[in-house]
Amino acid sequence: MMDSKYAIGNGQNSINKYKIKMKPLPVIFNNSSGPPNAKKIKLNDENRNSTNGHTNNNKPKISIQDQRRNLPVFDKRNKLLELVKRHKTLIILGETGSGKTTQIPQYIHSARLQENGKIGITQPRRVAAVSIATRVAQEFGHGMTVGDTVGYSVRFDDCTSNKTKIKFMTDGMLLREAMYDRLLMEYTVIILDEAHERTIHTDVLFGIVKKAQKTREDRNQTPLKIIIMSATMDVEHFSQYFNNCQAVYLEGRTYPVNINYTIKPHDDYQTSCVATFFKIHREAPSNHDVLIFLTGQEEIEACAQRIRLLAKDPDVQGPSVKCFTLYAAQPSAQQMSVFQPSPPNTRKVVISTNIAETSITIPGIRYVIDSGMVKARTFHPSTGLELLKVQRISHEQAWQRAGRAGRDSEGHCYRIYTRSQFELMKKSTVPEIRRANLLTVSLQLLALGVHANYFDFLDKPPKEATVAAFEQLQLLGAVDDVNSICLTPVGRKMAKFPLDPRFSKIILAAEQYGCLQEALTVVSLLSTESILINPVTKQAEAQKVRQKFCSAYGDLITLLNIYREFEAVGQNNKRIWCHEHFINMRNILHAREIRNQLEQLCKKCDMGAMSSCGGDLDRLRKCLIMGMFMNVAELVRDHQYITLDKKQSVQFHPSSCLHRQQPHLVLFAEVVQTNKCYLRGLTTIEADWLREIVPDYMKSHSLRFNSS
DNA sequence: GAGCACTGC
């Protein structure tokens, strides 16, 4: 695959940034036993099935029904069904490998506990929803294909029919369904799986299903059963929230993992990871694979380069080394390569971000090296700034990482931190709802009839975050005032779009500006990852060949130009065109898919003709102001801008096509803080337009310089 | 003249 956003392979650029110590000093560990409450589970080496479709091929083949009977959950079948029958809400704590996700929906179905309704099971990730549904359909019976009794529903892919009784879906999908029917009458059983991950969607669903259950009960409607499935974390918290409901524990099938801590702290955790790898490499049999957790792409590529170099050193003992990297920005084909079994007498080492913590399971890992660090996004409601920061992981994450070594057999985990550093880490990861921008959630909740301030959250988000969100909703015209519990007609339409409310507003405004085609394109492009590829080695070339698309009006119009050209190219030439122009084919196709969905939603909202402004881009730029007027920056002195809203000092990001220019006013799509505060996704606008389009906002946010 | 972890509708 060539559609990578980054140049991957020789990594020459990254390597120069890190000093290579050819012989890193050894890292010394004490050897301590596993987690304090580690349960030593008897080894039982047969037929583990995995939910991600990567089954172990060197095990003897046994029938699919025998595999089901061998799962730990099988023995508890009757007990579980009894509990599900007896309790309207049940928490199931299941360890990895218990089989809970694939089996429990089938048990419920075969006992007909769902009666005439459906069983809905949510997952935080699309791939999980699809692959689990496919697996369960296979198990379910002969000739059964996914989409019959067992189906799934994820964005852009609804594989259900009127026969579907067991429906796997993403948590975001169920949330969207709730906006059309807040009582979720389609379902008699709802299972929220992976609840411990606490995605923003699952957190909102906790409140939605709890309220739906209560309302249906009060109105004497068909009852709703709720099942919360989670790893073994903080049962009390969940149980209290669901009126002290019953919790049941399911044993898993994992193997003991020996935990090692360093004797002293290591600030240069990257070098220590490399050194630890070679310590393992010297001692362990060659078929024992190693997984290293680091924080980001650049760090991972640099570390891979060091390992590859050192492995060639004649002084280094041990088998040959096959080194893989793993992070989300990679093309999927490259991600898949980590599943290749290593050839004989070769050690496989995978260096990964936290994508390997939950999203991707690599079989055969015996050793985990945990740097103890993660890169995480934090949102500051007071400034509206998002900050991407390397920080320490939580205990939950540390155990999750360690567990990756114990999926196929007994394993080892080397933690590049001391026991006392570990004790200082946070017990659990702060749930997303407590560190995210709440604009979208607040709008969604209003569409469900609740004000975020009064919503029954499992964990309440910070007050400032909801205050900031409601101020913006009011400015966008979605509510009449910040305490309103109902949406304006505009707000109701905005909630129908699966977008940031600011972008929904742009689409709604496009009707009046006569630029719906262009607005849909720009918003779709803003809703995906970047379509531009900037390989480190061919950066100048990429910029030169794309020069013809650059607009003096800024980045968003430039993106529009690229998209228009992409659509004008014949179907058979698109791939080659993308390659020639350093455009990410996967991402631009994804933008097109989103654009189609948004266009359908416009028709549902009776938005009339698909108007186009053609070459009159002023209309589009004015339309963008309707949704993004809180994102205006004004030039104050040489290349220095301040935001109109929070008076932040900011600069244009060097990747912007306006980087060397100094327009008086710009709209920006986002502000990211790294070394400095940078604006990205720029569009130039006129002062007069602001006064004309958002006069009230401009009264409270006056410009320093009034000339254009 | 810099560099972005991970999801989802």
Q: Tell me: the pLDDT tens digits for A218-245?
A: 999 999 999 999 987 678 999 999 999 9
Does A9 have pLDDT greater than 70?
no
- Secondary structure (3-state) at A557: helix
Determine the nucleotide nearest to A358 by Cα–C1' distance: B6
pLDDT of residue A558: 95
- Starting at the earlier edge strand, list the strands of the sheet with A411-415: A29-32, A257-262, A411-415, A365-370, A289-293, A346-352, A320-326
Radius of gyration of chain A (CA): 27
pLDDT tens column, A274-303 = 999 999 999 999 889 999 999 988 899 999
Higher local confidence (pLDDT), A407 or A416: A416
Which nt is closest to the CA of A156, judged by C1'? Answer: B9
What is the rounded distance in angstroms from the CA atom of residue A85 to the CA atom of residue A359?
32
Give the residue carrying structure tokens 């041990």: A318
- A99 falls in which pLDDT band (50, 70, 90)? confident
Could you tell me which of A182, A204, A159 has the C-alpha nearest to residue A459?
A204
Residue A370 has pLDDT above 80, yes or no: yes
pLDDT on residue A276? 94
Residue A357 confidence (pLDDT) above 80: yes
Tens of pLDDT, residues A118-130: 999 999 999 889 9
Query: What integer is the mean pLDDT of A414-420?
Result: 95
Q: How far apart are CA A622 and CA A14, in angstroms?
A: 41
Mean pLDDT, chain A, whole residue set: 87
CA distance A114 to A187: 8
- Does residue A30 surpass a pLDDT of 80? no
Position A165 confidence tier, pLDDT thresholds 50, 70, 90: very high
Tell whether the model's pLDDT for residue A12 goes beyond 80.
no
Confidence check: pLDDT of A58 > 60: no
**Measured between alpha carbons, how far is A643 from A507 in angstroms, rounded to an integer?**
24
- Greatest alpha-carbon pair distance for chain A in Å reads 78
Structural domains in chain A, sorted by start: 14-39+254-432 (3.40.50.300), 64-250 (3.40.50.300), 497-621 (no CATH), 629-700 (no CATH)
Of the pLDDT bands very low, low, confident and very high (cuts 50, 70, 90), residue A3 is very low
Whole-number distance in Å between A270 CA and B7 C1': 26
Distance measured from the CA of protein residue A531 to the C1' of nucleotide B4, in angstroms: 14
Give A660-669 pLDDT, tens digit per residue. Answer: 999 999 999 9
Residue given tokens 């099942």 in the structure block: A227
Residue A420 neighbours by CB under 8 Å, 6+ apart: none
Residue–nucleotide distance: A504 CA to B9 C1' (Å): 13
The residue behind tokens 């595999």 is A67
Distance in angstroms, CA of A127 to C1' of B8?
12
User: Could you write out the three-class secondary structure of A85-100?
Assistant: HHCCEEEEEECCCCCH
- Nucleotide at minimal C1' distance from the A497 CA: B9
Q: Name the token pair of A292.
A: 């290293």
pLDDT at position A23: 61
How would residue A28 be classed by pLDDT, with cut points 50, 70 and 90? confident
- Span between the terminal Cα atoms of chain A, in Å: 47
- CB-contacted nucleotides of strand B (7 Å): 1-9
Grade residue A70 by pLDDT with cuts at 50, 70 and 90: confident
Directed axis angle between helix A77-86 and helix A100-110, to 10°?
A: 70
pLDDT class of A61 with cuts at 50, 70, 90 = confident
Name the nt closest to A444 by C-alpha to C1': B9
Q: What is the pLDDT at residue A95?
A: 78
Q: Which helix (H) or strand (E) holds A14?
A: helix A12-17
- Residue A538, pLDDT above cutoff 50: yes
Residues forming beta bridges with residue A262, ordered by sequence position: A29
The predicted structure's pLDDT at residue A245: 95
Percentage of chain A modeled with pLDDT above 90: 63
